[in-house]
Structure 1
Amino acid sequence: MPTKIGRFDILGQLARSSFATVYKAQDPETQQTLALKVVALNNLPDRDDLVKAVFEEADRSKPLNSHNIAVLYGVGDEDGQLLAGAEYVQGNSVATTLARKDSFSIWDLQDIARQICHALDHAQVHKIVHHSLEPAKVMVQWDGLVKVLGFGVSSMNALAGAPTGVPEILHYVSPEQLRGEACDHRSALFSLGAILYEMATERKAFAGDTAEQIRAAILDSLPPLPHRLKANLNPSLSALIMKAISKSPENRFQSGQELVRELEHCKATVTKVAPPAPAVKPKTQAVGAAAGIGAKPAVPTGKPTAPPKPPAQPQAKASAAAPATATPATKPTYRVDPLVADDDDAGPAADSKKTFSDLEELPPLKEIFVPSISPDAESEETAPPPPLVAGGKKAVEKPSIQIREVAQKAIAEMRQLPPKLYIYGIGGAVLLIAVIVGAMSMHNYLEDRDSGGAKTAAAPVHATPAKQIVPPPAPALNPAAPQPQAEVAPPAPQPEVPTLTVEEQPQSAPAKSNRQGRTKGRAAPVLAQLTVSSVPAGAQITFDGSPLCQSPCTLTDIAPGQHVVAASKAGFSPASRTITVRPGTGSVALQLNSVSTTLMVASNPPGGVIVIDGRDTGRLTPTLFSFDKAGTHTVLVRRTGFLEETSTVNVQSGQPGNVNVTLKRLGSTDEIHGAGGKFKKVFGRGSASSMGTVSVKTQPKGAQIMINGRVLDKTAPYDFYLNPGTYVIDITMPGYRNLHRVINVEEGEKVAIEEILSQQ
């Protein structure tokens, strides 16, 4: 085994045939592990046609970008060898699993076929056909991801053939490909059908000892139906596979998605067939007859009976223990998944596998009568034992009187009542309602009259000068008594406490002295004083809708009664209180709540990490943030594979802020090649016109170069190729300050970075 081919270091051999050899290799420039396929061209008569076809197919496959397709890095020819570098996939191929005789379940078939069809449909969109699909080219990784190998170089096997023996790929070639006709994606679906046939039956669909026999089988004959080779295989799955390997492309599936939908239907059919009781009934009866469980029990007689001899006589009472010499039951006819189906379900071990849910009916129970405990001895003796139904189960006790009979009897009695009784009942109800309404009206009238009288007594204070008005009670006018404080009352309910007490005196004096007494007895109005404060201070105070002052302030000459005090300030939510002011001095304090400022941070595409003022918030875009106060903030949004963006925003109180950045995608670092290498024909056959050149030179030399977070194995000075795009380049060296540069690489252009590093 060679240790080096071209510039690649050979790590091991993966596969070998008479036509080609596949090695596990490593690219020393990028330290990337890849699968290197090598074909010797010296012994091929049509080598030029083969090289041309492979190069053309590799160029057409460049747009392929599916997680189910192994990436083709490039092709080239050197020293009489055709080389193809592709993605190195770890896992097992379908061919390896078939060689181990490991069975595939319907779920395995569905999952593998679905991912293969996804790859074929993706290639169909780009008008690319796989010409050599076989089990060895279907790799299943350890995480279950399926990758199809050979896209871009499938014409190697299709055109080269094999010098000796029967090529393995011949078993899966479509009829139109054997006839040399033009092939489309339905040819690959034929190969997939042949692979599914072998996965389901563990036999090749088109077998033969020679190449001629295999070609004749593909062109002229049909293989046996899969469910005839595997009795427990679903017939619908068998029909699907036979449709996939139809001779005519028009009779096959026209797309991979169509095949997947049909396969999902087969999976659903299998899932529905196995669990239900009707499908399990033949097996349950057969096993039950052998174990003494499935027979229908007769009415218990209290005497033990012998176990049944043949399974055809199920009338005798069954026992929990069946004789060991019972005839084994026949194989059930229902279908199950081939991976789940047992090899033998009719043996003695089948009884132990049967679960409670599989039984159609429980074994008969032994009849035991337990008398109920009751203080009435007579009722105990006369009460019959509870009846038993077949199988020893206690019958459900039914009520002695049926509900329907009781209802019908009640309706009949109601119909016998005289009609006058209905009239009396309705009249009594109407009278009762009238009495209640009248009582409520009278209550409301009395309350209105009382309140009207009180208003009439107080009216002379403001408008009627003919009545005698006396001053308020002495305690309210006594200067030695402390003055009452203003009270703050909730809006509702309000206590009926008059601010001034007014009483009307009896008219016992002559009318001419009444006027003089009224003039001397009029009380002077008593005003209140109110001190208003707020937290925070400096709020605009509004009293009964009129702006007066800024807090804290004192309001004087206030008429006693109910008033509304409000406070407002920028950046805070307004607050208002309804208070009842009494004569004297009072105070009220209003609490203002700050209005939180909001900031919406979004990005295109979403999902970026948000960093505000240098602190990672742990949130992803889009997210709405709240701040306690206004201010200026620096917002940074970063996402893997994109250039991070920074924005500065000034958030105002009560006004929402918004930051929406567009993230620029970074270029791919999967293909970084050193400029000026010797092996130029591989990876695009030496054409670097579609890439750009980057030259990094530092003083002093030997600085470490990092591109989009990927460290290169070369140090400065270094020239290398990059695909067009945006890149972040970091240059570091111990003892010197780091350099951070963002560059844009254009196709066919050169970007030069020459820096003199500054010491720390």
Structure 2
Amino acid sequence: MAPPITKAGRYQIVSELGRGSMGVVYEGFDPVIGRTVAIKTMLTSSLPPAEFEDFKARFQREAQAAGILNHPNIVTIYDFGEDSGVLYLAMEFLEGKSLEDMVKEEGAIPVERIIPIIEQVCTALDHAHSCKIIHRDVKPANIMVLRSGLVKVTDFGIAKMMSMGMTQAGQILGTPNYMSPEQVRGRQIDGRSDLFSLGIILYELITKEKPFGGQNLTTIIYRIINENPIPPRELDWTIHPGLSYVIQKALAKDPDERYQTCRELAEDLKNYKKLGDSVGPSATLVTRVPPIAQAKTEPALAPPPVRQTQVPTRPAPRAPAPPPQAPSPISEQPITRPAQHITVIPPAHAAPPKGSMVPWVLFFLVLAVGVGGAYYFLILKPQQAPQTVVGQPPVQPPPAVVTPPPATDPNAVPAPSDSTNPTAGPGAAPADATATPSVVTTNPPVEPAPAPKPMTVTPPVHVAPKAATGSVRPSAAQTGSLAVSSNIPGAQISVDGKTDPSWRTPFTIPGLAPGNHSVLVVKEGFAIVQRNITIDPGSPATLSVDLAAPSGEINIVTTPPGIDVSIDGQQAGKTPLQKAAKVGKHSFTLQVPGMDPYTSSFEIRSDGYVVTKRIDLTGAVAASTGVVDVRTVPPGASVSSGGKPVGGPTPATIRLPAGRYMLSLSLDGYQTLHVGVEVPTDGTVTVNE
């Protein structure tokens, strides 16, 4: 672990902000300019002296290259230097949260908030790429979202700096989760590698799944090189097909098949809804999938057979929105497919030839088949006696994928489109409302030329007169409910990262799948509360939380120690001091014996935030001092001398320069006492009142 430092060049170290695999980040102060800065130090203690000098020279070149980036969405680098063998960068100080922290604190982030963030990241990366600078380490922790909504990308070039001789055999600095295939292979990379990393971030934000997860580095790297993640829309049918397409294209294994610039990605992301419209472009994904039997034994780079899959360019008609319900917990297991290679063919806008009769022929043919099928089901086919279930909603079968029968069959019924729920045979089990919809794999669909959709006819279903409609849900016996309350009502509830505007305390969430669920209760101005709840089928569960003001921690360390500290006018103790403090700005005072009080401030920016203040008072403490031990009954009195506070509340141990003093002891509801004392050099005098 890197030892703490008190300065870096001319910059004063104020507090430690965080530690990582590459170094330590501090809050610093530039006394020349008079501004707050961020100081990032590099871990170089493991380098031999000769290698350190070589690394230092290359580090400086990379710092200078990153320093030329002048863009509102890129953190500004002010300075580079070395202090006592410690290499450091002085850069812009940012007040905000990293995208990584936002996800941890908020869970699911709405698409409407994700897109502006990614657009600004794209703008920053495009500018860097135009300056021939590749980031190499694009990840949520390096994307800062300020309070104003402005996004800043940090750590340009740091990954390359750290790779210049600091990687030992078998060691990878940082995590490879966001690396591109060419990057983990050690090949030459360009800006499209950063774009792949951005695609991984998009996948995680939209699906809340890791596209290339694994329990160890070997598994993660193998999947990045050889496997494609499940398309986002197959994980969650509510994801727009256009958005799913954008993410898949960004994650193409071959850089030539991705977006070529971040600007292209940002443009499609901004207009993703148009990518699924009938007037929008079409796209074909050409995937090469090895045979299943050979998937585990085939070399990673062996070219497998090719198949083509047409990506839908027209979104299916939306079914009625289901009522708010808790989703299934996010799986920790990676969801991937066998090795695939994706080639994206640019969208085409070709219109059908004018005057073509093919659509009309297909229309009348489908209409005839539909009418014939309806006549068979409604009139010719023997009817079964209707079964009515009283007091329960109708049990509906799960969606099924039906292969259309040959057109020559007079009783053929066209297969239902993706937007319909065809009725299966009797006895079909209901789908789990909270589970991820199952995916039925069929031969790749082939879209005909634009034509009216075929009619879909389903057999009549007899139901109770007032049966509920909407999405299929398990019965009450299969699910449980959760009643959440808080000491301050109106807090937003989320379950497993998903929520609904109506989920505000006190509220009961029905239809939760049995098992463990992560529950967040959030209200502005209060600390976030996280609880793990187990839901039993058919049983209601309750959760009551106490919302409290968010707080952090202040650590004050002085040289020498033993200095009295007051925070916000209240005696807090002696240094070294560790104390809880509410979110916000605070002032503190160090009472140095024989000197004017030292006053400064600190800020707790969020719940759990830790601030460390290190203050060197060497030389400020008088050489000839003594100690006054003051005790009162009742305790809690403040101690002053000459109208200036010197300590308290009692009992208090106060260090003062040697000499005579008239101490005043004050306590609300009691008469002020005046006590004369003589403080001996290096001695102690006791006052009992």
Which structure has greater helix proportion?
1
Q: What TM-score comes out, normalization by structure 2 length? A: 0.41
Q: Decide which structure has the larger Cα Rg and report it.
A: 1
Which structure has greater strand proportion?
2
